[in-house]
Chains A and B, each alone.
Chain A
């Protein structure tokens, strides 16, 4: 543990099932893509170390189940997240429309101290299927601007488009939040002998 410059960031990926959360993560962490769909049950966890502005940052990535029937981890899951990544499929309007409820759900469950400035990042995935596209860049950008200038990336986990850049921004923004180190209250003080009744037990000797 020693005095370290190491930082660990908890990053949560949310979005409808099938939008490519696991694929994005696998592309980013393992540089692998599989077109076979396998539903995430509960959650997957991956670790990735990156350098952000001279700091070694470990990203603890929580890839959640998009399917409702597997969302059994509840509040504990979102607790203490440093960044939340919202993913939709640019070819499926429903997945875009649901971003609102994912974002709300996250803010309710995680209850961050400053919800207006909590770092989100939005990823519009599967841009490789260009001819099927239903959500324009403009529409997505408008939503992101409205929600407090959330950074927006259009990605393809399959062809590794913008994945690296997106996660770099995720790390950078989360780090900004984490950096705000001021604890706001002092470490514990000394005991005033006569104040607190000591939990006296039978002593030694």
Chain B
């Protein structure tokens, strides 16, 4: 194991170095189990007054351009490149033969030796009928997740709990399945274990990059829930019925999203759209290179792993206005032109009714600030409606201006969500005071509320404020959430 250990140390050995200004990790939380309130997997983590990272961040940019630029910047790195070991969060995908499939940083071909080491580590433990889950070397955590013939590895110096990094890897796996479907992956490698999967995943790299990036900045993944566009209920309803009317054979879901916010969704009565599937679709719309040119309609085979991981559906997507995307998801591969006709009808109807304009207006002004609520000391909150799997959160405001501060807060949320969902704890109310903030979590069967106040807010006031906050949310419910999702 000389060589193995050697290489592991090479990576870990660079510990204590400065991290550069870029995505260090964040959380995700695949509330996979569904019923009974998803249980966050994994062990509990010690209370983290340490969440304050010693790193200064600039404003965080998750635009496609920023991601692409970063990829280009690091594309030629290999294991011996000086910066390579310094990245905060590496993600690797490899085949069970040890062949590289994806590396977030660097040229995966040139890292093939490192991939070999990862494979050896996994299979060494696997040979003893055991499973390598994670290991810690200095301030670096290695997390492993295998699914069939694919291995996923995260190497992070972000001090996030291994359970969260594992969720990240599961999300990435879901993305891979959304491209190839689960049985196809298995069959490919059954027939040829030496298969180079890069060939089949060509062009998917930006989607994986984007997904990893979003998990560092978007609470949706942490909550396993979607955020709706704040919009007058009447407009939402009108768009919903416009979609409902175009029901044709094979059409399963119809939805409109506005910059990764859900406007509305029409679905079969008995088949909800799983939030993870929805997040995969949103990531696709955001990051797909073919959709970057909003002028074009696209038709893409897409597997929704939580709907059915054995086959593809077909996603028709078309931008109705800048950032406003109509998605029609069909079982029929040949129905592109029918979908186009549907789009024309929907576009005509919601344009004529002024609803499209209402949506674009809402996009410009939708974000509400905590000030609007008039609750003293309130800094930020997340409110998730458990049954509908939707959430709402105010726009970032001081002191969470920089990407680094936002990420720090997300990590505080991550930590608390982990605590309240650990089965052994099963707490309903959780109160935590740190130097920078006071946090109150309140978990019931119908909602989860995580509220952040300034550090000097006493418990009693915090609780009173939460009640006030809930009343405000109730009063705004119709604009913040899809209350009655139309069905067909």
Contacts and interface: CB of A to CB of B under 8 A. Distances in A.
B295 interface: no
Contacts of B409: none
In this complex, which of A3, A42, A202 has the most chain B Cβ atoms within 10 angstroms of its Cβ?
A: A202
Contacts of B194: 10, 80-82, 178
A contact residues, range: 35 or more
Interface string A52-79: 0000001010100000000011111101
A43 B4 contact: yes
Contact of A76 (B114, B127, B262, B482): B127
B389 A4 contact: no
Nearest to A189: B311
A204 B389 contact: yes
A198 B307 contact: yes
A54 to B, nearest CB: 17
Interface stretch (B44-52, B201-209, B336-344, B415-423): B201-209
Contacts of B267: 203, 205
B21 interface: no
B311 A188 contact: yes
A40 B3 contact: yes
Given A74-B123, A205-B265, A47 B110 contact: yes
B308 A191 contact: yes
Contacts of B389: 202-205
Contacts of A46: 113
Interface in B181-202: 181, 183-184, 187-189, 191-196, 198-199, 201-202
Contact of B201 (A1, A10, A62, A185): A1
A127 interface: no
24 contacts: A1-B201, A1-B202, A8-B99, A40-B3, A41-B3, A42-B1, A60-B112, A60-B115, A72-B124, A74-B123, A76-B120, A79-B98, A80-B193, A81-B97, A188-B310, A190-B312, A191-B308, A191-B313, A191-B331, A196-B310, A204-B226, A204-B272, A204-B274, A204-B389
Given A77-B123, A198-B271, 20 more contacts: A1-B201, A2-B205, A76-B96, A80-B98, A80-B189, A110-B193, A187-B180, A188-B184, A199-B306, A199-B307, A200-B271, A201-B306, A202-B387, A203-B274, A203-B389, A204-B273, A204-B389, A205-B265, A205-B272, A205-B389
